[in-house]
């Protein structure tokens, strides 16, 4: 099938294959022409239709508010990372204390959504960088991870987007990210393998070309840094 000189695979050709087309989230040019309120209203009606098709009784008190709840959670929470207005400001500061070693922010809790089945992805992200004269607030790293996670995602793309954003913010290629996550599309459907997880990585600069730097980072993320009561 061809649309605007672009060859598209049919649904039958794609089947259950997981296809990632780019490290940029595929969005239409008119993606933000509608307000959040308009999107919620439209999604609500579609969810009603899905639930009705499934045979659910939408007059039941337990189900009556579900379409709106789902619509609001899609726009305001689960997929809020689609909208650039929600992008965190990655403020950086001069590295006045001359810290020259890598900084690692590990075990960042990650909640995302598989774009192939719209089922949860749950895991941890580990991020590191080596300053090139600038540093970034630690919480900003968590917020960048959250921003790119809060959209329909492919884990490979998410890993690359986090590294790309930090490279740009810090003006350095020396950035790395490893994500270890469980995909409910694997755990709860299909093969139903509840024990497996998916690990992806993206290495830039010294993390990519210097094995000692890469090994140091991988060693740090294996440390047991849990604290009782925290």
Token pair for residue 41?
Answer: 């209203």
| Size (the chain), residues | 230
Q: Write out the catalytic residue numbers.
A: 114-117, 155, 183, 185
Token pair for residue 21?
Answer: 């087309």
- Between CA 151 and CA 39 the distance in angstroms is 15
pLDDT, tens digit, for every residue of 211-223?
999 999 999 999 9
Q: Is a pLDDT exceeding 80 seen at residue 228?
A: no
**For 195-209, what is the mean pLDDT?**
96
CB 166 within 8 A of CB 141: yes
**For 70-81, what is the mean pLDDT?**
98
Token pair for residue 64?
Answer: 């009556």
CB 61 within 8 A of CB 106: no
CB 166 within 8 A of CB 159: no
Domains in the chain: ranges and CATH: 35-78 (1.10.286.10), 92-221 (3.30.1130.10)
181 DSSP assignment = E
* Mean per-residue pLDDT over the chain, rounded: 91
Percent of the chain with pLDDT over 70: 90
| Per-residue pLDDT at 6 | 56
pLDDT, tens digit, for every residue of 94-114?
999 999 999 999 999 999 999
**For 113-125, what is the mean pLDDT?**
96
| Per-residue pLDDT at 119 | 95
Output the CA torsion sign for 202, 147, 84, 48: positive
Show Cβ contacts of residue 132 under 8 Å, excluding neighbours closer than 6 positions: 170, 171, 172, 174
CB 162 within 8 A of CB 204: no
Residue from 143, 146, 214, 147 nearest 174 by CA: 214
**Higher pLDDT residue, 66 or 15?**
66
Q: How far is CA 95 from CA 35, 123, 131, 207, in A?
A: 40, 31, 7, 20
């Amino acid at each position: 099938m061809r649309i605007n000189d672009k060859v598209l695979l049919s649904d039958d050709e794609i089947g259950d294959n997981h296809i990632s087309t780019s490290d940029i989230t595929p969005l239409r040019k008119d993606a933000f022409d509608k307000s959040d309120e308009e999107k919620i209203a439209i999604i609500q009606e579609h969810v009603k239709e899905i639930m009705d098709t499934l045979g659910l009784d939408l007059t039941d008190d337990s189900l009556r508010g579900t379409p709106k709840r789902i619509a609001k959670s899609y726009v305001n929470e689960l997929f809020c990372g689609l909208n650039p207005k929600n992008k965190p400001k990655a403020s950086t500061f001069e590295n006045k204390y001359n810290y020259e070693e890598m900084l690692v922010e590990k075990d960042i809790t990650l909640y995302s959504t598989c774009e192939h089945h719209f089922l949860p992805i749950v895991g941890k992200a580990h991020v590191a960088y080596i300053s090139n004269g600038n540093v970034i607030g630690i919480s900003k790293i968590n917020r960048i991870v959250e921003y790119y996670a809060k959209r329909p995602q492919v884990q490979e793309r998410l890993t690359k987007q986090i590294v790309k954003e930090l490279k740009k913010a810090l003006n350095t290629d020396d950035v790395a990210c490893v994500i270890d996550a469980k995909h409910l599309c694997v755990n709860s459907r299909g093969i139903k393998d509840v024990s497996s997880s998916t690990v992806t990585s993206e290495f830039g600069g010294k993390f990519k070309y210097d094995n000692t730097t890469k090994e140091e980072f991988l060693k740090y993320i294996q440390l047991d840094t849990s604290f009782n009561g925290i």
